[in-house]
Amino acid sequence: MVKPGKNRKASGSNGGNGGEAAASVPATPTVERASQSGFPPVVASTSPTMSSARQSAILPRRHDMWEQSLRQLDATAKAINLDPAAHEVLRHCKRTLEVAVPVRMDSGELHVFQGYRVHHNQFRGPAKGGLRYHHEVSMEEVKALAMLMTWKCALMNIPYGGAKGGVVVDPRKLSMGELERLTRRFTSEIMIIIGPDKDIPAPDMGTDGQIMAWIYDTYNMTTGHAVPQVVTGKPVALGGSLGRIEATGRGVSYITAAVAKEKGLDMKGLRVAIQGAGNVGSNAAKALHEMGAKIVALSDVQGAIYSESGIDPFKLFSQLGPKESIVGFQGTKTLTNEELLACDADILIPAALGGVLTEKTAPEVKAKIVVEAANGPTTPEADEILRVKGVTVVPDILANAGGVTVSYFEWVQGIQYYFWELDEINTRLHKIMTKAFSNLWALSKRERISLRDAAMRIAVTRVAEANKMLGLFP
């Protein structure tokens, strides 16, 4: 029979991709099957067909990411005259794993969740990529994001291939106990393909340092010894790296400052609008504010706020509870998320979900620079519209690469059992991010191509070179 699900306690995970605070939303209906052999009822996991009201405020997510990723690769392959054999290899994921994740719920019921882990490529090193908990996760999305990680790591010239993982779940509806049992069971299911020299997970949307701590402990208990480099984004007390939480947002600020400099713009007083006030958006806002930029707009899943005179992000976030919306902050005007995209600003930073800049919203963008802090916030149609408008778009595989870069630092520190000071971490991050940007900018100007095309050409060329040197086994 079909029965309504129960509202469960929010997990408090904000996610590494700018995930927002939890909302109270109705649970998805579940299907109860008759129990057998004395076991409690089994509840089949079903994915909601709609997001909550707060989640949907960020605009629809893309569902054709894999096809778009392939088209992007195909266009790059043609532009650089990529060897057809290498092209064919890169169009496929090396390994995909789909698992059922049975979890005992607080009610005593057994709930089966769907989980995924994908390795796109490992030519340049072990696979690296985040783990997301979201009710719209799909294999196609995970494959696309794994491919994106391959290009991102190659562009930053760090020794990783691309991976990604996800569980179809709304973590806000789980108690902490349920979330822990889900994480530990999922970890046990993907143990066959993860490891410090095989695949190193990290936080992403809906997951955080606590989730990584449970993965770390589960791996340790299974292997019988501590392996701190098996996962990154861990709490510092467990061998995590200083600066990892802020890394993606800080990296966004470094890239924003670099592109502003190339455009001859002074960061002091530069008007910046940021869609998303989660981990990435909030830390980018703070870092840019410290650089002298004026944060004129911010948003979360409930809406956006705008102030022509600027918003102090330190004051804003210090006054908010962990699940409190920024909407209504004193001295600000309330906007919708869509209106934020079109507000008066010099720089627009989409730092929430993908697919927010579309053929509908792109024509209204007033900013002359867009820095993609979220994964895939710009559709191909919007990309062309922005190009015609003369808007400079800094692609996601560069703009939000601060997270994977400091994850790399954490992995290295874990291998060495020697940990760096925060100043050293930020200095190294700045050096890697700005060097990658300089290479990108130079190619873009030399070939008269977009920054996105330049990024893809650099990344695909590096992966293809590794493929050529490795050869084919057997």
Query: Which run of H or E residues covers position 66?
Result: helix 65-79
- Catalytic residue (one of 128, 143, 152, 164): 164
Instruction: Count CB-CB contacts under 10 A for residue 33.
Output: 11
Asked if 251 and 267 touch (Cβ cutoff 8 Å), the reply is: no
User: What's the CA gap between 299 and 20, in Å, rounded?
Assistant: 10
Q: How far apart are CA 383 and CA 375, in angstroms?
A: 14
Q: Is 468 a catalytic residue?
A: no
Q: How far is 189 from 168, CA to CA, in rounded Å?
A: 15
| Amino acid letter for position 298 | L
Residue matched to tokens 């800094």: 394
Tell me the H-state helices in 157-243.
176-190, 209-223
Cβ atoms within 10 A of the Cβ of 261, count? 13
27-30 LR contacts (CB < 8 Å, sep 24+): 27/170, 27/173, 28/135, 28/170, 29/2, 29/3, 29/4, 29/5, 30/2, 30/3, 30/5, 30/111
Point out the residues that are catalytic: 164
